[in-house]
Structure 1
Amino acid sequence: MVPDLNRVPGVLGRIARRRLERVAAGGRRTHGPPAGRPPSFAEALAAPGLSVIAEVKRKSPSEGAIADLDAAEVARAYARAGARAVSVLTEPEFFAGSDADLEAARAAVELPLLRKDFVVHPVQVDEARALGASAVLLIVAVLGPLTGAYLEAARTAGLDALVEVHDEREAELALEAGAEILGVNNRDLTTLRVDLGTAPRVARHVRALGFDGLLVAESGYRAREELAALEGRFDAVLIGSSLARDPDPEAALRRLIGSA
């Protein structure tokens, strides 16, 4: 159940192929059985108002180095500021993340955790559960027709899945696969360009098709006004770089959501 990654273009394809090389080479840790059921990612996003998924992020292909941060410390800061979930990058080469970051965040906070990675092999789903994640990221542009199979693998593991799309065609594939949490990424992962008009446009499309699940806007959000435009249209927003690079991520998140 490995996707055909040769069809995936640009930076996204390069990252996904490298990730598969590491998994195939055994570049992963052996994990013991998970301890208890993690908090529900879906329930956190379904709470009233716009839920913030705040991200632990050290670097990215589009921005280079972002912050030399401590995952546990930043996760606690996000929790204090009112984040309803935390996204933790675990991809090591392009994002400088690690499984240890996810484990540290799990020990630090009781919020649901999203394992933010490039899932290209079923073993990564089981790893996410063992590490204490509540959800995995499934990218339609990577998984293609296997999206439904990976969704089922996540459900079997007791995980929610944030199914990420970039346009209307991918969104339709996600809906056909049975996605219940749909993330619309404003960043074109082949060119790395950001267009904040992407998420609202795709959201209108899927709602018109009858999608009644949870909608998450992703990438590029830096100002309170941008978040205000999402309220009533999206259930959640994922914010990474603008929070992680701030010397005081707690204050940065409070400014964004308008909390005291």
Structure 2
Amino acid sequence: MSCGGVLEQIVRERAQDYAAVGADLGPARAASGRFRAALTGPGPAEPRLALIAEVKRASPSQGAIAALDPAQLRPAQAALAYESGGAAALSVLTEPRHFGGSREALLDVVEASSLPALRKDFVVHPAMLREAADWGAGAALLMVSVLGEQTARYLRLARHLGLDALVEVHDGHELEIAMHSGADIIGVNNRDLTTLRIDLNNAPLLIAHARAAGFTGLLVAESGYRSAADIAPLRGLADAVLVGSSLAGSSDLARAVRELTA
């Protein structure tokens, strides 16, 4: 594993959480492909930038995310508001210590909304993928910064469970690992997970590099987007953008989604 700072601490904690949990995944499950389909535009004549809206209560860089109306931080209500605003898919944090996530948050979102949900966590054990499938997620996050050369193995495990996988990268080396793993959805994170600093140039740069290298799957830009102006450079380049803190902290979640996707 190649990680440092806050990421290293979270990975260590999650590994301890699952140290005594069995790794058996059970029989193969049919793939729904709902998450991937939600991010796919209607065709080359009508390109779009799909929005993955995140249900998020806190983050290491920001602490508690406090909307004016605390009810908006209830996962089910947030999911419905995001769906009403035009989000294509949802991301749900399940990491409890640093992001305020939980199993219940994902279950509530899956029950409340018709949109496919991504389990966003620091996957370090096969059981976390089994849980994602059992809890109704359509996809799971696989971080190359955490899994390294094990990324391809975890991608196979996710597909065994019928899950799509968002394979996340932060730099050119991680992008190479993701492309060689067989990923068909790659997310590029603008945040340096060691320093927690944001560079909005990172996603466009690596996305363009992936396309130039022949990657034909879906590309998602992640982290740091707060306005339609921030997102504008991604149009015609990325397939989707994942937005968390700026949406979750809004006083009107549906309107915030509409303004980002206008």
Q: Compute the TM-score of the two structures, normalised by the length of structure 2.
A: 0.91
2:239 — aligned with what? 235
Q: Contact 1:52–1:239 (CA<8 Å) still a contact in 2?
A: yes
Aligned length, in residue pairs? 250
Q: Which amino acid aligns with 1:194?
A: I
1:153 — aligned with what? 157
Q: Indicate which of 203, 206, 229 corresponds to 1:202.
A: 206
- 1:127 and 2:131 are equivalent in the alignment: yes
SS in 2 for 1:24: coil
CA distance in 2, matches of 1:142, 1:201: 22
Runs of 4 or more consecutive aligned structure 1 residues displaced over 3 Å after TM superposition: 35-39
1:138 — aligned with what? 142
- 1:167 and 2:171 are equivalent in the alignment: yes
Percentage of identical aligned residues = 55
Note the C-alpha offset of 1:37.
6.8
Note the C-alpha offset of 1:38.
5.5
Q: Contact 1:38–1:112 (CA<8 Å) still a contact in 2?
A: no
How do residues 1-260 of structure 1 correspond to structure 2 at under 5 angstroms? 4=1, 7-25=2-20, 40-48=34-42, 49-67=48-66, 68=70, 69-258=73-262
CA distance in 1, matches of 2:114, 2:16: 33
Could you list the runs of 5+ residues in structure 2 that have no partner in the other structure?
A: 43-47
Q: Contact 1:57–1:97 (CA<8 Å) still a contact in 2?
A: yes
Q: Compute the TM-score of the two structures, normalised by the length of structure 1.
A: 0.92
CA distance in 2, matches of 1:134, 1:170: 24
Note the C-alpha offset of 1:46.
0.7
Note the C-alpha offset of 1:36.
9.0
Q: Contact 2:30–2:161 (CA<8 Å) still a contact in 1?
A: no
Q: Using the TM superposition, name which of 84-93 and 14-23 deviates more.
A: 14-23
Q: Contact 2:204–2:233 (CA<8 Å) still a contact in 1?
A: no
Could you list the runs of 5+ residues in structure 1 that have no partner in the other structure?
A: none
CA distance in 1, matches of 2:221, 2:151: 19
Q: Contact 1:115–1:135 (CA<8 Å) still a contact in 2?
A: yes
